[in-house]
Structures are given as structure tokens and as C-alpha cells.
Amino acid sequence: MAAPLVLVVLAAVTVRAALYRSSLAAFIAERVEVASPLNAWKRVVEGLALLDLGVSPYSGAIFHETPLIIYLFHFLIEYAELVFMITDVLTAVALYLAIQDFNKVVFKKQKLLIELDKYAPDVAELIQTPMEMHYIPLKVALFYLLNPYTVMSCVAKSTCAINNSVIAFFILATIKGSAFLSAVFLALATYQSLYPLTLFAPALLYLLQRQFIPVKLKSKSFWLYTMQYASLYLCSLVVIICLSFFLLNSWDFIPSVYGFILSVPDLTPNIGLFWYFFAEMFEHFSLFFVCVFQINVFFYTIPLAIKLKEHPVFFLFVQLAIISIFKSYPTVGDVALYMAFLPVWSHLYRFLRNIFILSCVLIFCSFLFPVLWHLWIYAGSANSNFYYAITLTFNIGQILLISDYFYAFLRREYYLTHGLHLTRQDGTEAMLVLK
């Protein structure tokens, strides 16, 4: 498997290098869908330039990166393109290894459940075989590296690539089962952008499953392990934040990074839902609605945890998608990360109901974004409503995609335990409906 992966990596690096040298690089770098105020490269350069002039980069409202990024790019700023290409490659390799391990876990579990006779007799066609799953890790790496969203993010040198990379390493560490590393990477991911906090729940569930600790609220071992993991996570987070204090000897970065993410002061249009609402809102409502919108991101964790506690990796995927849809400054790089996981659930294809129309919606909206931006900003014949409409449609497409996969997953699980041909009480054929 190594050789095709190397080939894919080479192809991806070539595409990115070619784009860096072309004139498209400047055009892509300034697109709002790719570069948000949180992760634009221009702002990183600006912050570092301010630092060279002796001013704290957090003093204005320009720079919203964490001190570790300052440290990283202080030395690597001349090699920025290489750094971003290597980051993408590392992400893809991490995802590849993670999914490889995950496949092994899936097989083991499947074998266990078959031996325990938990599956209905006629579900042979639903069971995943090694043959069809052989290429999934490669497909995941392919999906991530050659996704136009990722390529654009890389060419724009948006630090979203670094966020994705940290999350990918976190996923790798979790699936390999190392609680310590997983806690460390999760702390790093949370430190970078606040939202991976919600990934704590799926990671915990996965690690519990791996340790064969059942998730019961009364179980002592459950709470013990949870406490261990939580304390590892919190300690590493605290250590990283304190370390960042020593970079500039000030706590300025906390309001600049986390305050900025949570209070959303910058209303530059992006592919998310926040900017339009808050541009139209009265001042005295904005605090309330900011709280509502932010709670919306964190809100789905607990219900999903209850529903998907047997399937933590799928929960992870759904949670990642929810983060990238509902976060305050999403970019297409975030979308690319969860889209990389779609091959893992390619066996759900037969249960997906709207996949054609949703993929059309997503592709179409991606093409319409620059068109309507041009019409709004340059031609002046449209206004922000047009662009927001496309944003809304894109997000609706994403949400429907996720809920479609969710439905398909649950349906397959139901069929596995209850058999493919469902019958009602009186023997006629029944249909499964998601309520």
C-alpha cells in the first residue's frame, strides 16, 4: 500500500507546486471562502512583521493566531509553501494510517458480533469484507489530498491546513489507542481553534470501547477512565496555554484568539452562517445571539453521544462535520477534512437517499460562490443577500449530507440486527423510516 500512497502524495505535491507558481495563487489567496480572518496567510505575515517592529501582534485586530503558530512561522516563513505542502502530506498520511487501523478494528468487531450471533441471518450482503475495504485508506488519502478545497486552502497558505493536521494526528492517536497522545493532540487542536473540544466525547467513547469498559453511568471504571482522560486533556491544555504565555510574556493572545472566535467581532463574509446575521442585528441582541449560535455548535454532542455510543468513529465524523458547518469562521479547508472520511462509509451508499442532489448542490454552490461575490462586490448588481443565499444553500447541502449519512448508518445498523427483509406484525413488507 505504500507505493500507491507515495504516488498520490507525489501527484498532490505536483498539483500544489504548479499552482503556487501560477498566477492563480494570488487570486485564490484573497478569496474569502478560503481565507478567513482566523487563518489568512496575510495576517500571519502581518503579525510577524509587527513582531519584528517590536509591537505585540495582538495589539490590533489583525492577528488571531496562537503563539505556537508565531513560533512555527518565525523560523519557517521563507519556506511557507513547503511547510503547507508537508502539512497536507502529513495530514493525509495520518488519515491513511488511522483508517487502516480503524478497518482492522471494524473487522474485529464484526467478527465478534457474527460469532456472538448478534446479526440477523440474511444480512450477508451488508457485511464488510476485506476485499472491498482494502483500498479505503488510500481513497481517504486521495480524497483529502486531491480535493479541490484542500488544494485551494494549501495554495492560499491558510493555516487551516495546520488545524486539519493536528486533528488528523489526534484521530490517528485515538484510533491507535494511546490515550496520552490523543489527549495531547486534542489539547493542541482545542488550543488552535476552540471547537475540537467537542471531539472529546467521541475520542473518550472510542478509547473506552478499546479498553472494553462499558459505558454505564454507574460504572466505576468508566468514571475512572473518564477522569484520567479528562485530566490528561486538561493538564496538557493548561500546559500549552501557560507555555504560550512565555512566548510574548503576556496573556494578550487569549482575548485575541479565543475571544475572537467566541464573540465574532469580524463580520467579513465567509461560507458560514454568522456574518450575515450579525451584520443585520441590533447591538443589544448580539450578545444573546452570539451565545445561541455558539451553543449550537456544542449542543449536538450529548444527543449524538447517547445515540452513537457504540460507533464512536462515526460520531467523530459527524462531530467534525458539525464543527465545520457551525463554527464561527468556516473555510473550505474545514469542509475538506470531514469530506476525506466519506470513503470510509462508502458501504452505506445503497442507503443514501439524496446523494445525487446533494453532491450537485455542493458542487454548484462552490462554483457560484465566486460568481456571486464578483456580482456583489465588483459589478454591484447583486447584494449581500445573494451571497448569503449561496452560503445558506451550501450549508444546507452539507447538513443534509451529514444527516443522510447518519440516516444511512443507523438504517444499516438496524438491518444488521433485524435482518434485511423487515416484516410487520402481519407479515407484509415494512419500510424503515427515520423519525
Partner 1 sequence: VCTSRFWFNYRHVANTLSVYRSVKRLGIPDSHIVLMLADDMACNPRNPKPATVFSHKNMELNVYGDDVEVDYRSYEVTVENFLRVLTGRIPPSTPRSKRLLSDDRSNILIYMTGHGGNGFLKFQDSEEITNVELADAFEQMWQKRRYNELLFIIDTCQGASMYERFYSPNIMALASSQVGEDSLSHQPDLGIGVHLMDRYTFYVLEFLEEIHPASQTNMNDLFQVCPKSLCVSTPGHRTDLFQRDPQNVLITDFFGSVRKVEITAETLSLDRDVPGLESKLPEEELATEPLKYAEQLPVAQIIHQKPKQKDWHPPGGFILGLWALIIMVFFKTYGIKHMKHVF
Q: Which three cell numbers stand for residue 329?
A: 469562521
As a whole number of angstroms, the distance between CA 76 and CA 97 comes to: 27
As a whole number of angstroms, the distance between CA 112 and CA 90 comes to: 33
Host H or E run for residue 374: none
Bridge partners of 303?
none
Supply φ then ψ for residue 423, to 5 degrees. -125, 145
Residue 52 vs 280, nearer CB to partner 1: 52
* C-beta separation of 325 from 343 below 8 A: no
In 3-state terms, what secondary structure has residue 100? Answer: helix
Residue 47 vs 269, nearer CB to partner 1: 47
Q: Which three cell numbers stand for residue 107?
A: 473487522
As a whole number of angstroms, the distance between CA 219 and CA 170 comes to: 27
CB of 192 to partner 1, least distance (A): 15
Burial classification of residue 428, based on how many CB atoms lie within 10 Å of its CB (0-12 exposed, 13-18 middle, 19 or more buried): exposed
Residues that bind partner 1 (CB under 8 A): 51-54, 68, 70-71, 74, 178, 180-181, 184, 239, 243, 246-247, 249
CB of 60 to partner 1, least distance (A): 16
CB of 268 to partner 1, least distance (A): 23
Residue 243 vs 360, nearer CB to partner 1: 243
Residue 106 vs 179, nearer CB to partner 1: 179
Residue 250 vs 286, nearer CB to partner 1: 250
CB of 204 to partner 1, least distance (A): 19
As a whole number of angstroms, the distance between CA 421 and CA 428 comes to: 10
CB of 278 to partner 1, least distance (A): 31
CB of 155 to partner 1, least distance (A): 24
CA distances from 110 to 130, 330, 344 (A): 11, 36, 15
- C-alpha of 75 from chain center: 28
Residue 244 vs 366, nearer CB to partner 1: 244
Residue 245 vs 300, nearer CB to partner 1: 245
As a whole number of angstroms, the distance between CA 14 and CA 214 comes to: 47
Residue 188 vs 337, nearer CB to partner 1: 188
CB of 247 to partner 1, least distance (A): 5
CB of 45 to partner 1, least distance (A): 12
Alpha helices in 134-273 (DSSP H): 136-145, 148-155, 160-176, 179-192, 200-210, 220-248, 253, 260-263
**Cα pseudo-dihedral 7, 8, 11, 17, rounded to 10:** -120
CB of 43 to partner 1, least distance (A): 17
Q: Which three cell numbers stand for residue 10?
A: 507525489
Residue 203 vs 308, nearer CB to partner 1: 203
